[in-house]
A and B are shown apart, each in its own frame.
Chain A
């Protein structure tokens, strides 16, 4: 339990450092995800939700097809 907590803390700290590095004065590279007010990040988030929901609906569809065949 304690180890798990420490592990989560470690992971969290890693994420924070990543975001700190990102804010440093790095030369502007051709980074799509950080252009245009980072709108692409929003698109990625919304698409991820959409993919998740659609996969879920798809799975229900497949299960129903199986059930219908059994009946």
Chain B
């Protein structure tokens, strides 16, 4: 990016904004309704009876949704980073940061739930914990997800290590784009190329209409993804509003 003349940097962008989607309630209520539906239907509706998985197949409505929400939040984050680079308005930098943070939170939740799920489906009870760990921990999908999360951790560290506000916003926005670019190989390409225990090797995991998840599960899974994502967005907007209030206090 070419250097921007000092007077062009939009430093004192007033943070008072017209009421936008963050202040609306309908999508928050939609999120609550969908989450309630997810819990009730997710536990009660018929699911395919598969060996090994058994009832844990219902984790699809929770574990997989965490990753979907993470991807969507990271996507919103990178869009705001690009918006910042185009307009240099501080608010977009605040948006990008907070969406990335909540995306990381969902990623960690996805990782933790996956660890619990794997320890009861992939792990062999006849061998020691360490031997199990040796086989499971080298699974490409896990390593890919770990790389993706670590790249985003680095994003936060990079941000907080720069003192100057404008410099921080610009450097981290550029890094945000790189981090998003690394998501593609690490969680979408790499696990499909290599052998993995994790389901969803070929095609589009959980989205393949023909031969992946059953239709009965899809009527719960898709609303679940929307519900969890909206909850993530809701939490993010709270964080954004807090930062904007803080920012306003500082500039007074």
Contacts and interface: CB of A to CB of B under 8 A. Distances in A.
A43 interface: yes
A23 interface: no
Interface in A42-71: 42-43, 46-47, 50, 54, 57-58, 60-61, 64-65, 67-68, 71
B245 interface: yes
A10 interface: no
B248 interface: yes
B241 interface: yes
Interface in B12-60: 23, 28, 32, 35-36, 39-40, 43-44
Contact of B23 (A42, A65, A71): A65
B239 to A, nearest CB: 10
Contact of B242 (A46, A58, A64): A64
Contact of B40 (A43, A57, A60, A64): A43
Given A43-B44, A54-B32, A71-B248, A61 B238 contact: yes
Interface range for A: 10 to 19
Contact of B245 (A50, A57, A68): A68
B234 interface: yes
B157 interface: no
B195 to A, nearest CB: 35
Interface of B: 23, 28, 32, 35-36, 39-40, 43-44, 231, 234-235, 238, 241-242, 245, 248-249
